[in-house]
Chains A and B, each alone.
Chain A
Amino acid sequence: MVEVGIKMAFSLAQIAVVMGIVLLTVMFLTLAERKVIGWMQDRMGPMEVGPYGILQPIADGLKLFFKEDIIPAGANKFIFSLAPILALVPALIGFAVIPFGPNMTVELFGVQVKPFVISDINIGILYILAFTSIGAYGIILGGWSSNSKYSLLGGLRAAAQVISYELNVGLAIVGVLLLAGSLSLVKITDAQTGWFWNWFIFAPPFPQIFAFVVYIISSVAETNRLPFDLPEAESELVAGFFTEYSGMRFAFFFLAEYANMILVSCIATSLFLGGWNAPAPFLQFHGSLAHLAWLSGTIWFAAKVYFFLFLFFWLRATLPRLRYDQLMRFGWKVMLPIALGNILITSIAAYLFPRG
């Protein structure tokens, strides 16, 4: 009984730490995005609040917290309140199966616990896919319940876009699953130890580079980020599905978008870039410092995740928004055949040259 209690308390502590880090990262990202895009466009970015503008996220958070919460007349109050929660919860729940560091066990009060994995379930990646697909409901219902034409159009676009690109995400992942022979993110990461050519993006018998590109493009589309932010296209739909939202409800949608960005970056890191594994064995603590390997592991993981987050900003600053029919044609006629072809070739290669 005591053992169960300690395990439960440890899991709760892990969840609290991961949630804290994710929310802090979101706060940091809001500033980083404005700064990075500012520099890319030869501007300074926010400079007013605090030295060099670094307190801007706190000012933004306080402003959103104290804003009046408006529910438009004619809106469906129940669904209008439910939608932001439906958008945020799936975005946060996916972090439960991400391995943030080595799969090691630590003894705590006589109980074996794994500090860097909240839960290693054998269908890890499917669990994430299942819950990210639920995130679409928040957007669709938010758009519908606002009783506004812009919101409804944004919601409809989101529905079509998420279904189309979710398919590509799922198919892009299949190649990696074929090579790793497991659905558990912990086992997939463990299969990529050693040098960087063991990462699934470069791994023999068939490098998953095409799947990687398809996954990155589709996940940008799935998180509704530029250049695929059709559901909230400012120039056409004011703000799309959250036009009518204000205050904390708006903040929930905002948090969900950024938490989703972090989640897809974590998945891309774990599946294609070796997770917490260093690119070369000598770049992590080894030998006499081997007991500190978890430290270098988590740092490598964070570095790779931040690389992807930077990629999101970079895309946003570089590319113009696609037109709606271009988006659909690109998803179904370009990405889908590439993903299917990748599965075919990978499965033939994995059959002919099974990984030792």
Chain B
Amino acid sequence: MAHLFFFYFAGVIVLTSILVVALRNPIYSALSLLIMFFHVAGLYVTLHAEFLAAVQIIVYAGAILVLYLFVVMLLNLKREERYHAQFPIGALLGLTIVTEVLLLAFHGSSPPEPAPSGTSTPATNGVTEVAGVTDAVAGPALSAVEGNTETIGESLYTTYLFPFEVASLILLVAMIGSIVLAKKDIFEQQ
């Protein structure tokens, strides 16, 4: 039963990730990304990481993707042809990842879960790194039967305190950077 759910979620994740980069209409790409986020959340639920599943949907589907859609709609792109201009770089990256997956698969030392999430990451780009961190947090949480949220909180503020603080600093830098960029005219007047 658990395997059935896993293969369903993994299959849909791979399919929709491919659609995100393959579809020509940016709105359809965003919708595929939305479906993918939901299935990643589903994978978290099968791993008993309900908190991560909810946060995944709130943050990525509820906020970040809405902002993407906002920008796409403002630019009013009908059919974007530039998507397929970076084919050589994409092929290079894809080849690297396929090699990694094959290496992992033939060594057989790793559990089956990481491989499909590895194939889904190229589509999410910036999301990849954060997803990696959350996977690491989901590890210890898996052992706890109850109190998933408490386990994550405790491991974040004890074992992973330093990475957590570093991540918040990085976010702060990004916030300051965006304010500086947006308020350029005010700084120039002074």
Residues in A whose Cβ lies below 8 Å from that of B148: 122-123
On whether the beta carbons of A126 and B55 are closer than 8 Å, the reply is yes
On whether the beta carbons of A121 and B50 are closer than 8 Å, the reply is yes
**Cα separation A155 to B111 with both chains bound (whole Å):** 44
On whether the beta carbons of A130 and B66 are closer than 8 Å, the reply is no
Within the complex, which residue of A76, A121, A144, A166 is in contact with B63, where a contact is CB–CB below 8 Å?
A166
CB distance from B48 to the nearest CB of A (A): 10
Residues in A whose Cβ lies below 8 Å from that of B62: 129-130, 133-134, 136, 166
On whether the beta carbons of A126 and B66 are closer than 8 Å, the reply is no
On whether the beta carbons of B57 and A130 are closer than 8 Å, the reply is yes
CB distance from A223 to the nearest CB of B (A): 15
**Cα separation A156 to B66 with both chains bound (whole Å):** 10
- Interface presence of B12 (CB below 8 A): no
Residues of B13-38 contacting chain A, CB below 8 A:
27, 31, 34
**Cα separation A122 to B61 with both chains bound (whole Å):** 21
Within the complex, which residue of B27, B63, B67, B74 is in contact with A141, where a contact is CB–CB below 8 Å?
B27
Residues in A whose Cβ lies below 8 Å from that of B54: 123, 126-127, 129-130
**Cα separation A121 to B63 with both chains bound (whole Å):** 23
On whether the beta carbons of A159 and B69 are closer than 8 Å, the reply is yes
On whether the beta carbons of A163 and B66 are closer than 8 Å, the reply is yes
On whether the beta carbons of B55 and A140 are closer than 8 Å, the reply is no
Residues in A whose Cβ lies below 8 Å from that of B51: 123, 126, 183
CB distance from A11 to the nearest CB of B (A): 18
Interface size on B, residues (CB 8 A): 24
**Candidate in B54, B63, B149 with the most chain A CB atoms within 10 angstroms:** B54
- Interface presence of B73 (CB below 8 A): yes
Given contacts A122-B148, A155-B73, contact A133 B58 (CB under 8 A): yes
Given contacts A121-B50, A122-B50, A144-B73, contact A163 B67 (CB under 8 A): yes
Residues in B whose Cβ lies below 8 Å from that of A79: 27, 31
Residues in A whose Cβ lies below 8 Å from that of B63: 133, 163, 166
- Interface presence of B185 (CB below 8 A): no
On whether the beta carbons of A134 and B57 are closer than 8 Å, the reply is yes
On whether the beta carbons of A156 and B50 are closer than 8 Å, the reply is no
17 A-B interface contacts by CB (under 8 A)? A76-B27, A79-B27, A122-B146, A122-B149, A123-B54, A126-B55, A130-B41, A134-B57, A137-B34, A137-B69, A141-B69, A144-B27, A152-B73, A155-B73, A156-B74, A159-B67, A183-B149
5 tightest Cβ-Cβ pairs between the two chains A and B:
A133-B62, A126-B54, A130-B57, A159-B70, A123-B50
Interface residues, chain B, with chain A CB atoms under 8 Å away: 27, 31, 34, 41, 50-51, 53-55, 57-58, 61-63, 66-67, 69-70, 73-74, 146-149
User: With A122-B148, A126-B58 given, can you name 11 additional A-B contacts, CB distance below 8 Å?
Assistant: A79-B31, A129-B54, A130-B54, A130-B57, A137-B34, A137-B69, A144-B27, A163-B63, A163-B67, A166-B62, A170-B58
